[in-house]
Amino acid sequence: MGCGLGRSSSGSNNTRKKTQRLSIEPRMFLSKNKGRLSDDYVFVRNLGSGAFADVKLYLYKPTNQTRAVKIIHKVGLHQQQMDAEYMLKEISVLTSLDHPNILRCYEIFEDLWRFYVVIEYCAGGELFSKLVLMSKFTEAQASEIMFQLLSAVAYCHERLVIHRDLKPENILLEDNEGSLKIKVADFGSSCFIDPKKHLSGCFGSAYYVAPEVLMDEYNEKCDIWSLGVIMFILLTGQPPYPGKNSKTILQMIRDSPLAISESKVPGVSASAIDLLRMILTIDPKLRINAKTALNHDWIKQHREIGTPADLSKTLKILEAFHSTAKLKDAIHIFLATQVISHEECKMLTENFVKLDKNADGKISKDELVSEYVEAFEEKEAKNRVEQIIQRVDVNLNGDIDYSEFLSACMNYTNYLSKENLEAAFKLFDLDNSGFITADELREVFGDANAFGDGVWKEVLKQVDLNGDGVIDMKEFIALMTSNVN
**Sequence ranges of the binding site:** 70
Output the DSSP codes for 248-308. HHHHHHHHS-----TTTSTT--HHHHHHHHHHT-SSTTTSPPHHHHTTSHHHHHHHTTSPP
CA–CA distance, 215 with 426 (Å, rounded to integer): 49
- Count Cα atoms within 13 angstroms, Cβ side, for 340: 28
Cβ proximity of 203 and 213 under 8 Å: yes
Partners of residue 125 on adjacent β-strands: 173
CA–CA distance, 389 with 407 (Å, rounded to integer): 13
Known binding positions for ATP: 70
Out of 165, 393, 401, 472, the active site residue is 165
Cβ proximity of 157 and 195 under 8 Å: no
- As a whole number of angstroms, the longest Cα–Cα distance in the chain is 76
SS3 125: strand
Neighbours of 418 (CB within 10 A): 10
CA–CA distance, 27 with 283 (Å, rounded to integer): 35
* In 189-267, alpha helices (H): 221-236, 246-255
The answer to whether residue 216 is catalytic is: no
The torsion of the CA quartet 319, 320, 321, 325, rounded to 10 degrees, works out to 120
CA–CA distance, 49 with 45 (Å, rounded to integer): 12
Cβ proximity of 180 and 159 under 8 Å: no
CA–CA distance, 150 with 145 (Å, rounded to integer): 9
Instruction: Provide the annotated active-site residues.
Output: 165
